[in-house]
Chain A
Amino acid sequence: MAKEHYTHERLDEQVVFHVHGVTKTYQMGEVQVHALRGVDLDLYRGEFTVLLGASGSGKSTLLNILGGLDTPSEGHVLYGERDLTRASEAELTEYRRYHVGFVFQFYNLIPSLTARENVAVVTEISRAPMQPEEALQLVGLAERMDHFPAQLSGGEQQRVAIARAIAKKPDVLLCDEPTGALDSATGIVVLEALQRVNEELGTSTVVITHNAAIAQMANRVIHLADGKISEVHTNKTRLQPAQLSW
């Protein structure tokens, strides 16, 4: 099957990520796990993208590669002019520090630090970040800033993780199931925060979700299946988070 190259309609816009022929193979003892089997994709500045796909389809793998956390087995990923697949360890660190905001599937908060301090860990090493308090406010956690992760519910922890990601005002925001543990009302608060950052700062945003409803607020929806892009869908009209429900 010939490879299709999925591109955006609005070709005048600047390409942020240029993904070309990316595969990722994990060696698990005797067996090889093909997490990605050739992905070609362009993402544009300011675009809000949703990644959909079954469990194990390679979403997190792709996101990690975009964020410079992992390197593909084959293929190239360009961030602007910069080839992430050829970048050194130090360049990747610098890239993550100043350009990327992450929200992890498993939050990865530091249990020995309060919500505020968890955000501060990131803001302290970035250029021109928000105040940690401001970021926590955005996700509706102003009241619980001095709580430790163990004293927060799963959803609250997830919101701290989001505050931590947006606080540095990143150029790209990569979120792995940011609303997985949230009820719809809180989920909407969080999505509004993401959208606000996306719109006000022009942050290119990629959101992984299992929740098809969220796809309605995206510019584009990319479906992954079995390590490949199976479908790309552009929303003619985007819904506001408040209009979503699940």
Chain B
Amino acid sequence: MRAIDKKLWRELWNMRMQALAIAMVIVSGVSIYIMSLSTLDSLYETRGNYYRNNHFAQVFASLKRAPLSLVKRIAEIPGVNKIETRVVAYVNLDVQGFADPVSGHLLSLPDNSHGLLNQVYMRNGRLFEPGRDNEILLSEEFANAHNLQTGDKIRATINGRRKTLTIVGIALSPEYIYQIAPGAMFPDYLRYGVLWMARKPLASAYDMDGAFNDVTLTLSQGSNAQDVIDRLDDILKAYGGTGAIARKDQLSNRFLSEELKQQQTIATVFPVIFFAVAAFLLNVVISRLISLEREQIAGLKAFGYSNLAVGIHYTKLVLMIVAIGIVGGIAAGVWMGQGMSNIYMKLYSFPYMIYVLKPGVIVSASAISVVVAILGTLYAVRNAARLPPAQALRPEPPAIYHATLIERMGLQRWFSQPTRMILRHIERRPFKSLLTTLGISMACGIMMIGGFQEGAIDTMVDVQYGMSQREDLMAIYTEPTSMRSLYSLRNLHGVEHAEGFRVVPARLEFQHRDYRTSVHGIETDGELMRLLDEDLNVIRLPERGVILTDYLAEILHIKPGDSLTIEVLEGHRVTVQVVVAGTTKQYLGVNAYMRRDALNRLLKEGNAISGALLRVDEGHRREVYAELKEMPRIAGVVDQKSAIQAFYDTLAETVLFFTFISTLLGATISFGVVYNSMRIALSERNRELASLRVLGFSRGEVAYILLGELALLTIIAIPVGLLIGYGLCAYLAFRFDTDLYRIPLVLGINVYAFAALVVIMSALVSAIMIWRNLAHLDMVAVLKSKE
């Protein structure tokens, strides 16, 4: 090895702790970049692969009932490729040993096949045997939640009749990657499942022989989904069609797409911060190294090393540190990416996960690290290269200090001499002090994200299900039913309160914007379903007009007082103009609300309700469930709170993983910044501090001068960091806003405290390490050497 390269290795070894601290920051940036992008690629790849292999449909429509002969007309729509009709039913299930209400979707499968579109993926077991009417396939998540295996039996209420079904296979479907009950917001694998059954028995149970109530399509290349949807809606209108949707609006697919978008945001925001900090640290450390070595550099140049050679020499040092960061970052990133993909596989219902690590991701991560590092050190390295040798041969002149602002203001008598040294040192390098503070602040800010996510979900749930939708159970009727049915619900032993609601699918339109959702008719002074205003006060429903979810008003660009067009996608499919009376704060979903009686009038129907909200006495829960199951009119029962609980359990792992990672990364940054700043301060002031020791200062007094400065900067950095963290969370909340959910920007005191604490801890760890270095302060060297 060339001597000059040996110099590099030895120097790297001498500054190994600093190099490691910087490398760790790069590791963080690279790993989170690789984690997010590879997770993203994996999800895209897996989803794409799954969709393709299992022929996920592109247009979905449900209707009341249409004869199979209608297929011919649908096939004539230009752009339609494949068509599959199905019989789909929403049923109550009864799992042995599980008392809570369970509902499920029962889908027909053509004889002895995986289906034409939305093909099932068989995890195990077999398809149906002809003639056996009671065989089903069960969705994997549901089967796992209940520990059901092939051969086990479950009971279902199919069109009012109890049936015992035998599980012959466990399956998954691209249609239910995100598996939630209608009306629910969170997956609850215990209380909602998907089942497949042979078409014949299912059709005859629902009087659908030779008919269908659900149709899915694929499109031929280059055709416009919206055109097809419009034509399909025209055809299905007469058969009770509730409006076809494109794949992008299909619920499961939409949730997944939103998730992918969030990954994308994470993939950009975080690495930017880490790379910026890494660049800063490298700059500080390399600048210092170069200023320490200016006389060596001069020597090298005097012996005929060119500017370029000197520049390359220091660039190599930077690259060596970056290389450690890249290698570590790739390893950590792949590990984290696989972990993340597995969490996704659990959170969603994928049959498999193809972990994709594109070479491009690694190349770009490496390239970004290298470029950032070089940009960060360019100035310092260029200065080293350009250093006129004759000048550099002379030792650097003593730094120029000034009396600080505070001293000029005449306040110095309040400060001891060491404190004045601290203040002067900070004031002499305002920019560097600022960047150090900013670096620590960034760390502090990053650490708030984990806590923010957790708190945000809590708030979301508290507001939505604690204050707004307060029912214990929601019973959904098979079809709109008279208000009088509520009496039988109220009479159930254990039901304390029951409120009816009416809900219809509708297309809302204002000017050139439109949005598909549902209009909810709710009781004026309802106890269980209440709308909240911006300050979370209950809104009294107006006599006329609709109230929109605040986010929906934003989507439609509509204000209270404007006239909204509502096209009901059910029954007579009336289109009416209704004034927007106000907006309501909601974190989950987007809907339109009006008085139930007003909605009934609008639909030109009597006092009909689509379902009921129930408050149930805890002690009688079981009995109420049991009774509800027996009611033929009730298609399903949703227990939102249990769903939330189940969701929390699934999510806990994700949140924990994320909190762990963001804390680790934040701590890395704050340690990296604080430790490096201290080391550099120590190296810059080595001589000064050693001289003070010679003059009789104690180690503590000397430490105070050195560490006091960083303590001061850290103390300043924390409030700034909390602000930055708030901003970061606000940005994420804003970026994560979708019509499915909005993340409230709520940051508890514990979130702030945690971030501040970790920063203080990592500063303390650095301080301890520096304290040990101070013990080795070489007093003799100071006296011996020149300067």
Where the two chains meet, the residues of A that have a C-beta atom closer than 8 Å to any C-beta of B are 60-61, 64-65, 67, 69-70, 89-90, 93-98, 100, 102, 104-106, 108-113, 117-118, 120-122, 124-126, 164, 168
Determine if B388 is an interface residue (Cβ-Cβ < 8 Å): yes
What's the Cα separation between A164 and B305 when bound, in Å? 14
Determine if B183 is an interface residue (Cβ-Cβ < 8 Å): no
Determine if B4 is an interface residue (Cβ-Cβ < 8 Å): yes
Check A96 against B303 for contact (C-beta < 8 Å): yes
What's the Cα separation between A100 and B11 when bound, in Å? 28
Check A106 against B302 for contact (C-beta < 8 Å): no
Determine if B786 is an interface residue (Cβ-Cβ < 8 Å): yes
Determine if B393 is an interface residue (Cβ-Cβ < 8 Å): yes
Check A69 against B389 for contact (C-beta < 8 Å): yes
Known A96-B303, A106-B393, A122-B303; further 17 A-B contacts with Cβ < 8 A: A60-B393, A61-B390, A64-B390, A65-B390, A69-B389, A89-B306, A89-B307, A97-B305, A106-B786, A108-B302, A109-B296, A109-B299, A112-B6, A117-B3, A121-B3, A122-B304, A124-B4
Residues of chain B at interface, number, CB under 8 A:
27
Residue numbers in B under 8 Å from A100 (CB-CB): 302, 304
Interface-central residue, B11, B296, B305, B390, by most chain A CB under 10 Å: B390
Partner of A113, one of B7, B302, B306: B7
Residue numbers in B under 8 Å from A164 (CB-CB): 303
A108 nearest in chain B by CB position: B299
Residue numbers in B under 8 Å from A106 (CB-CB): 295, 393, 395, 786
With A70-B390, A112-B14 in contact, is A102–B303 under 8 Å at CB? yes
Residue numbers in B under 8 Å from A89 (CB-CB): 306-307
Determine if B10 is an interface residue (Cβ-Cβ < 8 Å): yes
Determine if B298 is an interface residue (Cβ-Cβ < 8 Å): yes
With A69-B389, A104-B393, A112-B14 in contact, is A126–B6 under 8 Å at CB? no
With A117-B3, A121-B4, A121-B7 in contact, is A108–B393 under 8 Å at CB? yes
Residue numbers in B under 8 Å from A60 (CB-CB): 393
Residue numbers in B under 8 Å from A112 (CB-CB): 6-7, 10-11, 14
What's the Cα separation between A98 and B6 when bound, in Å? 23
Partner of A121, one of B11, B303, B307: B303
Partner of B304, one of A64, A65, A70, A98: A98
What's the Cα separation between A102 and B389 when bound, in Å? 12
Chain B, residues 290-313, CB within 8 Å of chain A (1/0): the string is 000001101111111111000000
Determine if B2 is an interface residue (Cβ-Cβ < 8 Å): yes
Residue numbers in A under 8 Å from B306 (CB-CB): 89-90, 93
What's the Cα separation between A117 and B6 when bound, in Å? 8
Chain B, residues 3-20, CB within 8 Å of chain A (1/0): the string is 110110011001000000
A101 nearest in chain B by CB position: B303
A64 nearest in chain B by CB position: B390
Check A110 against B2 for contact (C-beta < 8 Å): no
Chain A nearest Cβ from B490, distance in angstroms: 87
With A64-B393, A70-B390, A121-B300 in contact, is A110–B305 under 8 Å at CB? no
With A112-B14, A124-B3 in contact, is A93–B296 under 8 Å at CB? no
Residue numbers in A under 8 Å from B300 (CB-CB): 110, 121
Q: Which 4 A-B pairs have the closest CB atoms?
A: A97-B304, A70-B390, A108-B299, A120-B3
What's the Cα separation between A70 and B301 when bound, in Å? 11
What's the Cα separation between A69 and B299 when bound, in Å? 10
What's the Cα separation between A65 and B390 when bound, in Å? 8
